[in-house]
Structure formats: C-alpha cells, structure tokens
Amino acid sequence: MADEKISAMPAVTAAGLSDLVPIVQSGVNMSVTPTLLAQVQRGITADTDGSTITFDASLNDKHSVTLGGNRTLAVSNDYDGQVVTLILKQDSTGTRTVTWFSGILWPGGTVPTLTTTPSKTDVFSFIRVSSGHYLGFIVGQNL
C-alpha cells in the first residue's frame, strides 16, 4: 500500500459534547467527555461576575473574571488531579474581596488577601486532590 498525502482537511473550530467521537489513546478506545474536553481546551474562559461566581471546570481549566463587588467563589465539574487557574481582576473601584470555596489548603495555612488596588489582577491555581479537597497556590498578585 502506497503512502498517501493528505492535501486538505477541514479546520476544527469548536468541539462539544454533541461531537462525541471515539479516541484511540494507548490502544484504548474512549469517547470524548467533558473531562477530556477540559484537558484539551485552550484559551481562557471569561466568566460572568455575580454575587456567587461558579467556575465550570468542564469548560476550561483557566478562568478570568472582573470583580464588581465582594464575591463568593465556587468551582463545579472538576475532577481529581485537575489544575484550575483563576484570574481575578479588581474593577475600576477596587477594594473587592472574595470568599473562597471550601476545602482549600493554602501554603502555611494562610488564606491569601486579594490585591485591592483598582484594575489590578491576582492569579491563583488549585489542584483538586479529591472531591472537595484542593491545594491552593498564589501564582501572582498585584499584576
């Protein structure tokens, strides 16, 4: 059988659960699931501000939001081993605070204080070690 050259393939611009296809990985057939889609998702999801902001980890591992007030944060649809990064920006007023979702272990046991300067950004990452249990890290502050 001769080698064949593929001259053109259609571009894939988006994938969703309606695009379930078998995947062969290490010889095991699998179907695309929200978890697998999150593992290959690119870019940063811009989330909507509100009194409670829920970051859907099945959509993306990276999320950003501009805080328009003091907020409660939540994460949904995450899985063990997933690393979720949150980019929290102060609005032009600043002074915004957050109440973190439960189960986060912070370095030294100290919950970080957000930068409250108007229009400044803080970045945090979380590793889910098991359901309701996270390792929390400050990636950068006052950016």
Q: Is the pLDDT of residue 5 over 90?
A: no
Percent of the chain with pLDDT strictly greater than 90:
69
Inside any domain, residue 10: no
- Sign of torsion, CA 59 44 63 81? positive
What residues make up the domain containing 81? 43-140
Work out the number of other CB atoms within 10 angstroms of the CB of residue 9: 6
Given a contact cutoff of 8 angstroms between Cβ atoms, the answer to whether 85 and 63 are in contact is yes
Q: Write b or e for each residue in 19-38: b if 16 or more Cβ atoms lie within 10 A of its Cβ, otherwise e.
A: eeeeeeeeeeeeebeeeebb
Inside any domain, residue 63: yes
Give the count of domains, the chain: 1
Element holding 40 (H helix, E strand): helix 34-40
Inside any domain, residue 107: yes
Write the CATH number for 127. Answer: 2.60.120
CA 15/CA 121 separation, integer angstroms: 30
How sure is the predictor about 35, in pLDDT bands with cuts at 50, 70 and 90? low
Tokens 């393939």 found at: 9
Inside any domain, residue 7: no
Q: Looking at the chain, how many residues does it have?
A: 143
Inside any domain, residue 103: yes
Q: Which of 26-30, 68-72, 128-132 has the lowest mean pLDDT?
A: 26-30
pTM of the model: 0.73
Inside any domain, residue 62: yes
* β-bridge mates for residue 65, sequence order: 88
Given a contact cutoff of 8 angstroms between Cβ atoms, the answer to whether 74 and 96 are in contact is no
Torsion of CA 25, 58, 108, 123, to 10 degrees: 110
Inside any domain, residue 129: yes
| Predicted pLDDT at 44 | 94
